[in-house]
Amino acid sequence: MNTILSQIQAFDSASLSLAEIFDQEKEISHELYARAAFGDLTLADSQILRNMLDGITRNKLCAFENTLVKPKKKDDQSIAEIFVQKIAIPAQKTAESSPFYNIGVADTQKASDSWAFPRNLDNYKLISTPQGVLPVLRAVPIDNSICGLDWITFSFCQSTFGDKYVMLTPEQVNESVGDAIETWLDQLLFEIFGFGISQKREKGMHWNKFGYDLQDNLGIVLYGHNNKRVTVQINGTGCALARKGWNEQLYKFLTVQAVSPKLNRVDIAFDDFDSEWVSVDLAYEWDSQNLFWCGGCNPEINCLGDWKRINGKGRTLTVGNRSSSKFLRFYERGKKEGDSLSLWTRAELELKSTDRYLPLDILLSPSTYFKGAYPALEILANQLNDFVVPEKCELIEKQATINVDKALDVLKHQFGKYIRQFRKFINDEDLLNLISSDKDVVPKRLVFSHSAVMQALRIGEPIRNKTINETPLFEGVPFLTSKHNFYEGLTHAI
């Protein structure tokens, strides 16, 4: 151990070029692997030395942060070039790039402070692999939170661009909304995240007809859906490389400017580089203690990876169903990226709005909803001295009540043609007996007064009940009943 320690200390005190840093780090890393493999070093000592080596390497690389330049293209890239291309160049490129509609226009003015890209080199973790040190992006915790945002999908109504965009015909959507995205939304995304759109997609996705790719494949913009909404998706890499404070700027846009804003998906991640607070084995034990039970049935648990035959590629434990609106996974992130001795474990909570209301406050305080998702996560957060009050994303219970007039309209629209033809060869009384239910039960969604029905039959006028609300009722979610209700499009849903 003393020999390795001496090499690390000499490495720390030496003045080296960027290439020499990676060469010496790789040499010491291989020596560590060899000694650990032959039993000359315990796993604990090996990890201590590895952490020391990673810290020294990180400090030396920070010295090059402001002087990094794009390397020349080579067929066989070095580790240094990989670092520059994966971490430094995308950040530098997005910081210096112009909005999409300004590409090709010379701009000799210096960018203002509001357009700067405030980011330190704290959004990655160096891991050691047999091929050398590799940088892996991590979820940087939001201020005053133990968690970071690793994926965000949000949407808003086309009327955010102007009222005229709501009345567009399907033939006008591609050109008109696309122009608004290229000029207005691209500028906005650049100010919020530090990067904008790069090019038009050949086709959309998720039932959206059209779309754009964001710079460096950091996300996509989709539009052309029947719901007349624009959807923006920022992936994990985009969240890690975005400018600091992007969550606050996005929150401000969604609450102030956007019309009918909605969070469609949010991934909240907690990284434990030493498995001190969370691990897949601990998560397995939490399940045995019913700490993932939130009422009802116990969630589905799956163990993936090398649980039985250890091969160094890592293990994963999932809680819930991948297609549901709440899904949790614990996985050995460092091993997944190639470091077979890494202790890095990630707990990642995925929330979707399929049947769950995602408050915009998640952007400002993700740990509040992270610890509110499961009892196990609340225990984890409390151990980390995060004592914010846990909040749950409420399930949306849609209850549409319909009156008799509406019910008759639905019946006529769906089955009127059949009934009209049947009446040509079946008398009305027999036909009604044939198509009537055998059970005398009032449908749950049909609310009316029997006395009102009898009175209407006597006077021969349609039944009117002004007290019945024909809009969906969202119980337990006050926001959805406010004037900012983004479910306005469902007011006539049956």
Query: Mind listing the pLDDT tens digit for each residue in 482-494?
Result: 444 444 444 333 3
Q: What is the mean pLDDT of residues 291-314?
A: 89
- Is residue 280 classed exposed, middle or buried when 0-12, 13-18 and 19+ CB atoms within 10 A define those classes? buried
In tens, the pLDDT along 60-78 reads 777 655 454 444 433 344 4
Cβ–Cβ under 8 Å, residues 440 and 375: no
Q: What is the pLDDT of residue 316?
A: 96
Strands, sheet with 197-200, edge to edge from the N-terminal-most edge strand: 197-200, 210-214, 219-223, 229-234, 148-157, 262-272, 345-352, 326-331, 315-319, 301-305
Q: What is the pLDDT of residue 389?
A: 85
Query: Which among 102, 290, 294, 325 has a CA at the least distance from the CA of 198?
Result: 102
Cα 349 from Cα 299, distance rounded (Å) = 14
Q: What is the pLDDT of residue 340?
A: 87
The amino acid that residue 436 corresponds to is: S
Q: What is the pLDDT of residue 81?
A: 52
**Average pLDDT of the chain?**
79
**What's the distance, CA 127 to chain centroid?**
25
pLDDT higher for 136 or 29? Answer: 136
Is residue 361 pLDDT above 90, yes or no?
Answer: yes
Q: What is the mean pLDDT of residues 33-56?
A: 78
Within a 13 Å sphere around the CA of 485, how many CA atoms are in the beta-carbon half?
15
Cα 341 from Cα 351, distance rounded (Å) = 31
